[in-house]
Each structure stands twice: as C-alpha cells, then as structure tokens.
Structure 1
C-alpha cells in the first residue's frame, strides 16, 4: 500500500481535528451516492442500513420502478436462465416461485418486495438519471450531476463515495443495420418492449439467437401466422438434463413454504450443482469434452434438420458464449410456420429485411433481440483527479481491480465491473461478495482518517496479466463472437479468471497493499483521544477478554475457511441435478483438481 500525506485543505483539517478529540475508530459521517436501483443497488442499500450508522445514502434510478433489468425486460418469454430458487439473495429465499425458471415479472416482484420489506425505497429517487460526476479535490469527493427526468431539472449533489450499480445487461441498443430507421412496420426491441403491441396472427421477424431470441421464439411461435427468424452465427443451445422447465406442484410449494429445511436443502443442491460446473469452461477438461458430446447429441435430436445442424452447431467450445437453457427453442425452428434465414442482414427496407443471400423478407413486426452495450464504460462522464474521463480510459479495453474499482478514480466502486464472475457460476452470490468487500473498505474509510482510496495501477496491471494468462486455458478464448469480449480474438473483459467460489474466497479480506490510500494530516489521527469505543458503552463488559478457556475462532485463513464452509459436513458427490438427485448427464461434475 502506498501512502501519501497531502497538503492540508479545510475539509481534511476539520476531520483530523475532530478525530483527535474523539475515541479510537470514531465513525465519521458518510455521504454515499449509488447509481442504479437494480439488484446490486438494492443490496448495497440493504447492507448499509443493516451494518452501518452515521451515513446518508441516495440511490438514483432512471426508471420509474426498482429492479433494473427485470423492470425493463418484459418481452414474451423473458425469464432468468438461472433456477429461480437460486436467483435470490443467499439470506432471502422466496417460497412461492411458480417454476424452475421464473419470468421477468416474477423476478421484478421479488426485488420490489425486497425493497418494500426492508424499507429501502426511502433511499431511492426514481426517474433520476446520473449524467456526470467529477472529482472535487477541495472536498475529497465527487460532484454528481443528476437529471430529474420528469421535469428536466439538472441537480448537483456531493458525495464522499460513489458506487456504480448500473449493471452490465442494462444499456440496450439497436442493431447497426443500414436502413433500420426506414422500416414502416412496428419495430420492437426485447429490452424496450411495448406491451400494447398485439402479435397475434402477424408475420413477425426476429433478429438474433442470443439469450433473448432463444426465449422469444418458442413463446411467440404458437400464436403467430408466421415467424421469420434471422440468425447470423451458430450457438450451443440445449437444456441440460435436470434443468428443464418444471412448474412446481401445490405439494412442492407447500413444502417450500412450511418446511424451511426442505427449501434450504433444495437450494443448496442447486447451488452445489452450479458451483460444480466450472470444469466445463476449461479447455480439454473431461467436463468440457463430455458436455460437448452431450450438447451435440441433444441439438441433433431436437433439430432433425441437416441444413440447420450444419449452420447452428458451433465448431468452438461449449461455453465460449453464455450457456442458455433453450427450452423449446430448437424444436420451434422446425415448425411449419417458422422460416430460418441464416446469414447477415445487409439492410432493412420499408417492408422488412434483406439477407446476404439477396432476398428480401417482408414482415409486419420486426423484433430486435440484439442485446446491450457491454463495453463496461460508465454511462456518464466520470472525471478523476487528473482530469481523465474513465469512458476514455476504458475506450479500448476496460481494466478493473477485481471487477470493482479503477486506477486513478478514488472513492469509486463498481458492481459487476470488468472481469467479474458473471458467467462462471451463481451471479447473485458474487454480487454479495462484492458488496461485502466494498463495505469493508467503506468501514476502514469511515473509522480511519482516510481522504481517498483507489487501486494502484501496478496492482491492476498484475491482475490483468494474470487474467490474460489464465484465459488462454479457458473456452472463452475461442474465436466466438460473444459479449464476454469486444471482438472474437480480443481479451476476455467480462469474466473472472476462476470459479464463483474462487471469487468469493478472493474477496474475503482486503488487500490494502493493492490500494493507494491518502490520509488527512497524520495517518494515526484515528487513534484519537486515547479512549476506546468500549469505554463509551456503560453496558459493555470492560473485561471482555478475560475467560476461563481459549474460545477464539481460527486466526489462519485455512482455519477460517474450513469453519465458514462447514468442511467435513457434506458427502462428496460427482454432481447433483436441479431436482437434488444424482445427475445423469455429465455436465455437472467436479473438475479434477
């Protein structure tokens, strides 16, 4: 850790003076601004409220409701590709999910009720969009510009710490196809859905075979006169055995609601299965090879069409693009009212799409399932102390510290930043680990006389070098076109170099040696006036360390981990499927370590 004593300013002098007159570790007031009230922003509000005092928090959300992407995405068939009982916070199960894969509306209701239950909406200003932030050296914080979307009024607010929880799959975009603005029919994007549009009996065009397109097609196919789906590249699509959609019976839901141990074990069995799949993403591993053979067999069985098999089954590794349980998708491609057009769309006309085969395909409604801007650049100008805009710094390649912070941008932390485990395993577990890490850093900032903290460039450079070396052994380095990287042969910017469990363990403790910390005056001012916090509490035991036996917890990392993970309490298994039974398919298998 590199420490510097900066020239005094009025704010620093005042803070240092206050600390010298107070007991050790006095908690100074914090002013925090969070961008976004999706899952990450709500979790930060919850944890700040639960664990901290003497703070002010404002969460600015551009939408009229909370839940982020789960409020925005309402297209037909929109659902999460993670089993619903494990798309919850670890500590906050939902007892009444309708099925294994929940709709976006159900997921929105979960996060909305979470916000209501814990009174989090008092921190949130909806329909307020952050449009810029600039470091203010005189006040050691950010001046944040916010636009009130209902009135157009521009506000400026100061914060000590700025947290970006705006998400990655949130900033949707139209495809860059010439003539798109010339189309005379109804144009829709899956992430900006118009509920008033009736698709019944229409000839619908569908662009894209990523996660959204895979969910849309089997939902709209039965009720449309015809669907023409435009696919430009292959992708691995197959429900993993044990992962098929299942609607819970009344008996199952009754057990979940009234027998907590049943639901907990069910959730654990799924989580163990998810965490047991990391070997899939390692090149030439047995889990990856077995999974490829299984997927290959499943896709051929479901397609039953040599033309589609040759074009839709990839030659790159399983997992290079995000795996999506394609419930009913492959079967839909063979229906009589579905036309598959393989190749690039060269232009859009007033009537429809022109493919690179030279043919025009007229449609009544054109749906773009074409994804999001996943470059990781902030959605607003973020200006650091040196006058650098992080949007420019990350223009070619986003490089973060462990997915959470950027060199040269103090007191700024990011949820699901570059190289977070968003495709490696359970993502909400990773978000919880990030929130805990941020709060440990915020606690240190609050109880020491720290002016600012930012990761060093050396630490980030070393992390990126390690990440790039690791990725050469992963399937993500294959030449597929994926939002995990900016180009097929480019560096993997989206994913963590390891499993989700690996990430959780990596974030358990602060590595202060990786941070550039600047103090207000003397770095030991936090020692204060010589009194402990214990002596302020007349109800505390002022001799708490006197005992009749040594009941301390482990001090070494290995001991702490074994205690935390309940080592020795679980029977080792090759894998479990999503009903909690032994997996029949080879895809959920512990890698050879």
Structure 2
C-alpha cells in the first residue's frame, strides 16, 4: 500500500474465476459494475458459456423453476415462451446477459484449470490447460474464485458390465444430438430430475420405453404453476408494463419463499403437503401397483422435490414398462435386473446425474501444503458455503451448505456474489495480504448446522445428494434455514469470523492524510451538511424493514403459495 496515496486507495487486483456458467457471469457483472483497477479472467472448459445450460441438451431438458423467476432479480425477461422454459431458451437468456454487459471479453473458453497453489507473495499460481492445443502454463492471481458449480461432472451409473452393452449408450448430461429415437425401444435409467423430464419428451417418437426405477421419489405439482404457453398478448403486456411483470415475479417468488415449513419435521406444512402430494401422485399414476413402489415412505423434501410435467401419467402409458428394483449387471442387449430378467433395448439412456461431492476437481494447495481435495474428500466443511479454513483468498459459489434446495437458488447466488464484492472491496482498499475463515468459526458453524438439520426432513433416512456419505450421514448440501434466512445472514461480512493478515502495518491504508473526497475537485467537500437526517439507520432490523417494505403486504397466502406455512 503506497503511503503517498490518500485513504482507501484502490490498488490493482488480479482475479481468476473458474467457470463461465451462471455464477461466473454474475461475478463478472458485479465486479465490472462496482470496481475499477482490476483484471479478471474467467477460464471455462466448455466451448461456450452458461455452464449446465450449455451442457444439458437432452430431450425435455428444462428448468423446474418458473421461467420469469429463473432470472437475476435485476434483469427480467418479458418474452419467455412458457411458464417452464427449455434449456435452450435459458441458455439464450444468459448468453444475452453476457453480451448486453460485455462479459464475454473476460472469458477464455476451452481452457481448464487443473491446479492452484498458494505462493509466497500472497495469491495463487494457477495451472491452466488449453483444451484445443493441450498446452499448459501458469497464470497467477491475488484472489481465486471457483464458480465451477456442483452439477458439472456427470458420471455413468455403477452397473457391472456396462461396457459390454452393444446398443447405443448415452448420458443425459452428454447428449448426442445425432441420435434418432424414432421407432426404437429405449431404456431409461433413473427417476431424478433428468429422467422425469426425458420420459414424457421421448414418448411420442419411440416404439417403447422400459424405465428402470430403483427407489421411489416425490413428484410434485409443478412448483404451484402448471405449464402454460404465453400468448403474444401476454408477452406484450409484460414488456409494455414493467410494473405488471414485477408484481407477477414477486408473487411467484413469495410463493416459493413461503414453502420452507415443509422441510421442518412435524409441521402442519409438512403434513398437509404430504397428503396433497400423495393424492396428486395417486390421481396421475392411476395404478395401485405403481402407487406402492413409487410413493415414498420418507418425508416430502428429504430428497429434492422434483416437479414433473406429464411424467406420472406417462408411467401408465401403453408404450411404457416400469421395472422396479436394481440393475445387477448390463448385458450385450440391455439390462439384467434383480428379478432375474434381461430387458433388451436399442438405446440405453442414463439419467443418473453427477458427481455431487464438493471435493474440488483439481488440487487447491494452501500455504501449509494442505490440499482442499483432502480436507473435503469425505465430509466438506465450509464457511457459509463460500470459503474454506486454511485456504486464503479463495471463494466459491454454491459450496457445501449453500441453499441449493431451500428456495429460489438464483437469489442465493446473488447474495454470495454481493458478499464476495464486500470482501474484495476491503482487500483492494486496505493493505490486506490474505483472508480466510477461522477454523473455529467453521467448526462452530458446522456444529450449529448439524444440530439444526436434526429438526428437518433432510435428515430422514433417504438416499440424497444432499448428504455426502450415506442416507443417514450429515447434510452437506443445504443451508440450515430458508433462502431468505440465508440472504439476511449474508447481508454483511462478519470479520470477526475471518483470519486477516496484512502487508506491513495494518493501518498503512490510512495513507498520506488526505481523503478520497479532497482529491476529487468535482466532489462536494461538505456533502454531510443537510437540511434533514436522511442517513442510514443503524439498527439492523430497521434497515431490513425498509428494504423488505415491511407493512406493505397483508399477512395472507399469495395466489402462488401452494404449501401452507407452519
């Protein structure tokens, strides 16, 4: 920090971000909007941006959040085609966002980060691979951001002999657009989010589908809104009246934010939701035998609640055969199941998901030679889902115990980005050398989280990627509270939870005695003289009541709230 500069001089900072998906693009936007004197490069392994919305192109791929709310809070889109948009349309939204704000010039596509190591100067040496040439080199940064996401490493199912299968084998997350399903007998493995979307999408063109299901799952009404194709008049109304669109979006968001009670044990919300969803599933299945095997015994919400447009009805279609149980091995012709039968198929679609562990895909080495891959191998411990003890100047989006299933996820990503901006601002305008959450802060957070989770349905004995070890293991994939709870928790940086080290004297940032105001001849040097007190309130709750417009809404369910409160 230059002592000849005024207070809070903005030193140059270099930032590397891993991943140009949804989170990485938001990070670039926020940094560009608020900061100067920085350099940013985003390394993206794919040939395009938008992450999961570029990678996932399987039949029926769509978002299970209403499309008008699968946007940034500040960047609405009035012309969505339907209530639930396809992956292509969602990709187009984020592509348009990147071009509108000039974010692509930060991105280096087909470049993969393969390692990062803390250096003595304070920062990271980052190993980068050019996926076209195969060459590798070292880059460096002061701050390393991991926006790689959690649904970016797909995997084949662990079925013995899968490589023996002679037919066409494809994974939903690595879809081959050249495959024709016309008139084919298709096998579909999995009844998670992807499998639920694939089945009704392929049914019209295939000859037959054999769907392999090993366990039940709750398939919900579609987040409270049935699929709806917007008319040109409706789109025009949204575009010409922004207030109308904003109120529509707020209504849906309020409904999604009003569902947290269903995740708490022994609440009226959980009980009534279970009754409602059981009734809905039975009506749509219309098959008593399927009811027995597909409606779970465990609580609604223990696994991710999966909306399904036409899925349950498809299971009873004449073209569909449901095989319930485990696949013991693959054969040249198809799958052999624990009922002893071989089921031959022409094409085998694996809708079997991702490696959802939070263990980094590459070594991240801290100052003491500690590798985050080792620390997070079994049970990852993060600070509020964004940082790790012992790994300074490293921040991650949607890390362990982020609110990925607690409510609206894009709102949570915005909260994480805003928090990162506050840390970066403190780093740039002081002489901080490094910052990392304290070990004791992380330990206390994990203890609180584990105690809280015992009150939730997430701790039920179901198999879920919310848990890092086994069906009865600790919940590592979710925040201990609602999304609104997380937004309030992340509103300000608790620096007492952070270990901060400085270059030299910790007050070197005070500089030469001059303020930033005095070096700006265009500024008002008496800006604090006013005719009334319009300053910020100093009480946290009073500030919040201003922001959340307390008193402007009647305490009743909105039209979009499907699930009751406590």
Q: Same fold (TM over 0.5)?
A: yes
Q: Does 1:69 align with 2:52?
A: yes
CA distance in 1, matches of 2:558, 2:215: 32
Secondary structure of 1:523's match? coil
Q: Aligned-residue CA RMSD in angstroms? A: 0.9
TM-score, normalised by the number of residues in structure 1? 0.94
Q: Does 1:326 align with 2:318?
A: no
Partner of 1:37: 20
Secondary structure of 2:306's match? coil
Checking the alignment, whether the CA contact within 8 Å between 1:575 and 1:589 is kept in structure 2 is no
In structure 2, relative to structure 1, the CA distance for the partners of 1:39 and 1:240 (3 Å cut) is: closer
Q: 1:447-526 to 2 correspondence within 5 Å?
A: 447-486=429-468, 487-526=470-509
Partner of 1:589: 564
Q: 1:25-424 to 2 correspondence within 5 Å?
A: 25-137=8-120, 139-240=121-222, 242-424=224-406
Secondary structure of 1:246's match? coil
Aligned residues: 565
CA distance in 1, matches of 2:564, 2:509: 50
CA distance in 1, matches of 2:537, 2:507: 28
Partner of 1:3: none
Checking the alignment, whether the CA contact within 8 Å between 1:345 and 1:353 is kept in structure 2 is yes
Partner deviation per Cα, 1:291-340 (whole Å, 9 max, x = no partner): 00001111111112121111001000001111111110011000111010
Partner deviation per Cα, 1:66-92 (whole Å, 9 max, x = no partner): 000000000000000000000000000
Partner deviation per Cα, 1:401-453 (whole Å, 9 max, x = no partner): 00000000000000000000000000000000000000100000000110000
Q: Does 1:24 align with 2:42?
A: no
Shift of 1:240: 4.7
Partner of 1:7: none
CA distance in 1, matches of 2:364, 2:54: 26
Checking the alignment, whether the CA contact within 8 Å between 1:209 and 1:369 is kept in structure 2 is yes
Partner deviation per Cα, 1:149-174 (whole Å, 9 max, x = no partner): 01101021000000000001111111
In structure 2, relative to structure 1, the CA distance for the partners of 1:241 and 1:121 (3 Å cut) is: closer
Checking the alignment, whether the CA contact within 8 Å between 1:190 and 1:212 is kept in structure 2 is yes
Partner of 1:13: none
Gaps in structure 2 of 5+ consecutive residues: none
CA distance in 1, matches of 2:69, 2:447: 33
Checking the alignment, whether the CA contact within 8 Å between 1:575 and 1:588 is kept in structure 2 is no
Checking the alignment, whether the CA contact within 8 Å between 2:268 and 2:565 is kept in structure 1 is no
Partner of 2:545: 562
Partner deviation per Cα, 1:343-401 (whole Å, 9 max, x = no partner): 01010111100101111101000000000011111111111111111111111101100
Shift of 1:103: 0.3
Shift of 1:218: 0.6
Question: Which consecutive aligned stretches of 4+ in structure 1 deviate over 2 angstroms post-superposition?
Answer: 587-591
Checking the alignment, whether the CA contact within 8 Å between 2:184 and 2:346 is kept in structure 1 is yes
